[in-house]
Structure 1
């Protein structure tokens, strides 16, 4: 009985070797560098702003509610804000922080926040707010206020 079993095993040896070669080649092909797993961390985003008044008086403060809505979620994404005022005069700040300086870049701590614009002139005012992420994506929002004095 053992002799028959050994003879049968010897006939299967080439099949085992062929299976081992096929398994190794499939493994090597499936692990090639060209098929590396890509992890997406750069997601586009949109800016949503609640309605703001059309008119602002000298010395008056307007609240601007902003939400960053991103298409995907990568936990290490950072968002930044900068602004530029091109008509009138005023200050823009985040909550109780000191007023922002035009064209300086400020990191935003959250994706939902409030900005406060305080008019310091009696003429119409316009400014742009630019929000960017750590991957170079950027969105612009323009605000225009008429003088109510």
Structure 2
């Protein structure tokens, strides 16, 4: 669960920050991070804002690439992510906590956390790749999101939705 941390700045205004609970599969702390909340805003087909109450954080789905604003397929991909997320409870595991991108990718991207996210047992990135709204960044996911019955690997020279030949 997200932990809200309240602090008062020098001007007396309250700020609310997004915190994530650190936990590891073997019970140690600090090696993996887990967050849960509800989607607030779709940024593109592989990024959204996750909120619990008024505390929000941008999440970038690890292992896939979807078109960014201005790229072909952006609107379709963003709409697909909005449909998949709906108003559902989202549970995310930040890179380093047992994701396909562990040891291959960063756990943050600017202000965003990079994570694998699920709705129940459904991997959101897998759904996006399987339905052609994102491609598998094999160098990050190890091929988790491409193959038989899944999506296509990205062609780094082309648009995110153009699969590699």
More helix by share: 1
More strand by share: 1
Highest Rg: 1 or 2?
A: 1
TM normalised by structure 2 equals 0.23
TM normalised by structure 1 equals 0.24
